[in-house]
């Protein structure tokens, strides 16, 4: 399955007079089975782009095609995993993974087989009858992944799925995700802030500019897996990506301080104006 992103732009209304441009003129293709990471400074429109691919947001201009078909809504061919696992707290692991299959009307035995397969793939078989409150953060994300995989999407859309986890759990999940990716052959689009994470996982890294997000650079990570970040070639690539990312982070910081300056001046002026006349 191939994903084609053609001339996507999206803005959001902030107030009656002002729209914010989140992403602008994005053209991108993702090949079948490719592992693509999207990297960029905070607020550059990464989630907006992912949500448009998922069919959860609609672009102002441009279109997304999946296997030649224009995306108009969310569909089972595109499974999304968010930063927050968002499990149903009153359902067990098994029931959470089976939930969407049940909603589709799949019979009990069939959905149990599918759930068992993916619960095993994420190494949670001993916890299949536990409730979410009995699981660690990493285990919850594994359930979210199994639940998405159970729908058998051809492309997985992952929005910073491991960013709230500790480093050790994250490393374990990187390994498991790569095994799942290799076993299933699904394409993955993975959003992250983290250069190291993108170097461990990606076939290709897309670096976005500060808002409005555009594609600044692309980096092909042509190294065998598992990757060792102490490899000198990967260290060089890491430095290069961090250099270009830093340029964008600085743009965000400048914009923020300009905004704060303007608002401090406005508030000082309005305080002065309100005080005019007191004591006369
Ligand atoms: N529904 C919305 N309504 C209004 N503004 C929005 C909406 N969604 C996103 N934005 C704005 O669009 C811009 C891009 O947001 P987005 O969440 O896509 O960025 P991001 O790169 O994923 O951010 P982060 O890395 O911090 O998660 C931000 O300025 C955000 O405030």
**Residue 202 DSSP class:** -
Instruction: Walk across the sheet containing 18-30 and list its strands.
Output: 18-30, 3-15, 61-66, 69-70
Is residue 172 classed as helix, strand or coil in its secondary structure?
helix
Instruction: Please give the distance, rounded to the nearest whole angstrom, from the Cα atom of residue 189 to the centre of ligand 1.
Output: 18
Residue 277 has pLDDT above 60, yes or no: no
Does residue 280 have a pLDDT over 60? no
Give yes or no for a contact between 244 and 216, defined as CB atoms under 8 angstroms apart: yes
pLDDT value of residue 41: 93
211 touches ligand 1 (CB under 6 Å)? yes
* The pLDDT of residue 164: 87
For ligand 1, whether the C-beta of 48 sits within 6 Å is yes
**Does 49 have pLDDT greater than 90?**
yes
* pLDDT for position 115: 95
Please say whether the beta carbons of 132 and 167 come within 8 A. Answer: no
Picking from 174, 181, 167, the residue whose alpha carbon sits closest to that of residue 79 is 181
Ligand 1 atom closest to the CA of 13, numbered from 1: 4
* Percent of the residues in the chain that have a pLDDT greater than 90, as a whole number: 79
The pair of three-digit structure tokens given for residue 73, joined into one six-digit string: 């809504």
Output the CA 92–ligand 1 centroid distance in Å: 33
- Give the pLDDT confidence of 93-123 residue by residue, as tens digits: 999 999 999 999 999 999 999 999 999 999 9
Over 247-262, what HEC string results? HHHHHHHHHHHHHHHH
Enumerate the domain spans of the chain: 1-77+157-233, 88-152
pLDDT in tens, 179-238: 999 999 999 999 999 999 999 999 999 999 999 999 999 999 999 999 999 999 999 999
Query: What pLDDT, on the 0 to 100 scale, is given for residue 81?
Result: 93
Residue 17: the pLDDT is: 84
Mean pLDDT of the chain: 91
On whether the CB atoms of residues 138 and 163 are closer than 8 A, the answer is no
For domain 1-77+157-233, say whether CATH 3.40.50.620 is its number: no
User: Quick one: pLDDT at residue 264?
Assistant: 72
The rounded Å distance from CA 212 to ligand 1 centre is 10
pLDDT in tens, 226-275: 999 999 999 999 999 999 999 999 999 988 888 777 767 666 666 666 66
Q: How far apart are CA 139 and CA 114, in angstroms?
A: 19
CA dihedral (167, 169, 210, 207) positive or negative: positive
CA distance 167 to 178: 17
Residue 168 burial by CB count (10 A; 0-12/13-18/19+): exposed, middle or buried?
Answer: exposed
pTM of the model: 0.90
Cα separation, 54 vs 63, in Å, equals 12
Q: What is the pLDDT of residue 55?
A: 95
42 lines ligand 1 (CB under 6 A): yes
Nearest CA, atom 20, ligand 1: 43
Ligand 1 pocket residue status of 46, Cβ below 6 Å? yes
Strand order in the sheet with 215-220: 78-81, 155-159, 187-192, 35-39, 204-208, 215-220
Closest by CA position to 40, among listed 269, 270, 244: 244
**Helix, coil or strand: residue 205:** strand
Query: Rounded distance, CA 103 to CA 106, Å?
Result: 8
């Amino acid at each position: 399955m191939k994903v084609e992103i053609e001339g996507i732009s999206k803005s959001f209304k902030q107030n009656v007079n002002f729209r914010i441009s989140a992403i602008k003129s994005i053209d991108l293709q993702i090949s079948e089975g490719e592992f693509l990471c999207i990297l960029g400074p905070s607020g550059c429109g990464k989630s907006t782009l992912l949500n448009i691919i998922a069919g959860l947001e609609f672009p102002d201009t441009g279109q997304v095609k999946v296997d030649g078909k224009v995306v108009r809504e969310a569909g089972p061919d595109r499974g999304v995993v968010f930063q927050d696992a968002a499990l149903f707290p009153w359902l067990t692991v098994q029931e959470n993974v089976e939930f969407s299959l049940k909603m589709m009307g799949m019979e009990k035995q069939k959905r149990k087989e599918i759930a068992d397969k993916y619960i095993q793939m994420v190494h949670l078989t001993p916890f299949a009858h536990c409730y979410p409150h009995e699981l660690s953060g990493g285990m919850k994300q594994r359930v979210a992944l199994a639940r998405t995989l159970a729908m058998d999407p051809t492309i997985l859309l992952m929005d910073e799925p491991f960013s709230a986890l500790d480093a050790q759990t994250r490393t374990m999940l990187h390994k498991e995700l790569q095994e799942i990716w290799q076993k299933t052959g699904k394409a993955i689009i993975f959003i992250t802030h983290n250069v190291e994470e993108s170097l461990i996982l990606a076939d290709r890294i897309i670096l976005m500019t500060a808002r409005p997000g555009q594609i600044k650079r692309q980096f092909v990570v042509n190294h065998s897996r598992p990757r060792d970040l102490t490899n000198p070639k990967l260290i060089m690539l890491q430095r290069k990506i961090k250099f270009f990312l830093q340029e964008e982070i600085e743009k965000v910081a400048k914009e923020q301080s300009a905004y704060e300056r303007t608002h401090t001046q406005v508030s000082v002026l309005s305080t002065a104006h309100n005080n005019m006349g007191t004591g006369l």
